[in-house]
């Protein structure tokens, strides 16, 4: 990766790791998800960094992409499994990490299995390692605990400006013999479940990303378009961020986003839920692939 500043990436990674630790300590029963997300995002910003993407706080059968709504009243359940997925960004460098918190009698074995699967997968990483071999190890660990990996989610490459870059790292042996390259940056991301191991899109939609620059027609859409370009660029953003930047005008912001989606300016990221309602746990770290091993960044 020519001219890639690994030291800057590591600085970003350290902040992401600290933010994840802070986030885990912020989870408690009956606390509003909106307050938790705001606290985490404020923590990252106070360290002098931006967000790679909106904080995800996905509960129980939700695997990913739940971020609170504007004035969200949803709270942490007394017995729940919460996935915290977050990342810090500095200039064009960004990282990604996640952990699971089991509240009350939430399934701790599922959490333990996801953490173990991540550690076992990391132990295999080196230049030349095939991605299906990593997936095989994740699935082996999941099955040893009596769970299944989610087959249509997985890890990914990370590049400058890009949270999900060229390579996909499966959570099972999918037959892909693509080899990891020395110097590449990847995120390994086991998702394990008590269900059948497949996610589908749910109804909750609060995360978007600009993918085009077609000029919208309405005034509110033009205002939103300008804010998105100046404040979020091409990085994922939350609807609540946009509403706040539009002075709290929730109806206008939602109308603007609907128009931007219709003309193809935005890509939506709906919440992903386990197809059979199975509980989901997640663990994730960002790594630099080295000749004989890897360096953990987050």
Catalogue the active-site residues: 85, 96, 156, 164, 189, 284
Structure token digits, residue 247: 């002075």
What is the per-residue DSSP string for the chain? Answer: -TT--HHHHHHHHHHHHHHHHHHHHH--TT-BHHHHHHHHHHHHHHTT-EESSPPEEEETTEEE---PPTT---B--SSEEEEEEE-EEETTEE--EEEEEEETTS-HHHHHHHHHHHHHHHHH--TT-BHHHHHHHHHHHHHHTT-EE-TT-EEEEEETTEEEEEEEEESS--S--PBPPTT-EEEE--EEESSSS-EEEEEEEEEEEE---PPPSSHHHHHHHHHIIIIITTS-EEHHHHHHHTTT-HHHHHHHHHHHHHTTSEEEEEEEEETT---EEE-BEEEEE-SSSEEE--
Q: What separation in angstroms does the CA of 263 have from each of 156, 237, 249?
A: 28, 18, 22
Query: With contact defined as beta carbons under 8 Å apart, do 285 and 296 qualify?
Result: yes
Structure token digits, residue 64: 């990913």
């Amino acid at each position: 990766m020519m001219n890639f500043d690994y030291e800057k990436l590591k600085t970003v990674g350290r902040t992401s790791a600290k933010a994840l630790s802070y986030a885990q300590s912020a989870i408690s029963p009956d606390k509003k998800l909106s307050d938790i997300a705001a606290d985490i995002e404020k923590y990252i910003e106070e360290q002098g960094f931006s967000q790679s993407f909106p904080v995800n706080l996905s509960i129980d059968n939700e695997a990913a992409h739940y971020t609170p709504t504007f004035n969200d009243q949803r709270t942490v359940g007394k017995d729940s499994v919460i996935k915290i997925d977050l990342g810090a960004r500095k200039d064009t460098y960004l990282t990604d990490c996640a952990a699971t918190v089991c509240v009350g009698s939430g399934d701790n074995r599922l959490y333990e299995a996801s953490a173990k699967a991540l550690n076992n997968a990391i132990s295999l990483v080196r230049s030349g390692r095939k991605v299906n071999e990593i997936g095989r190890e994740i699935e082996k660990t999941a099955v040893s605990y009596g769970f299944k990996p989610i087959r249509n989610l997985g890890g990914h490459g990370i590049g400058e400006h890009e949270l999900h870059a060229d390579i996909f790292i499966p959570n099972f042996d999918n037959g892909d013999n693509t080899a990891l390259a020395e110097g590449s940056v990847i995120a390994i991301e086991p998702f394990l479940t008590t269900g059948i191991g497949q996610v589908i899109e749910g109804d909750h939609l609060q995360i978007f990303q600009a993918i085009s620059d077609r000029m919208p027609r309405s005034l509110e859409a033009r205002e939103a378009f300008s804010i998105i370009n100046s404040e979020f660029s091409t990085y994922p953003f939350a609807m609540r961020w946009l509403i706040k930047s539009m002075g709290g005008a929730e109806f206008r912001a939602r109308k603007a986003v609907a128009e931007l989606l219709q003309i193809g300016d935005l890509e939506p990221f709906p919440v992903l839920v386990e197809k059979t309602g199975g509980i989901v746990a997640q663990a994730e770290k960002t790594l630099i692939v080295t000749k004989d091993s890897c360096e953990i960044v987050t």
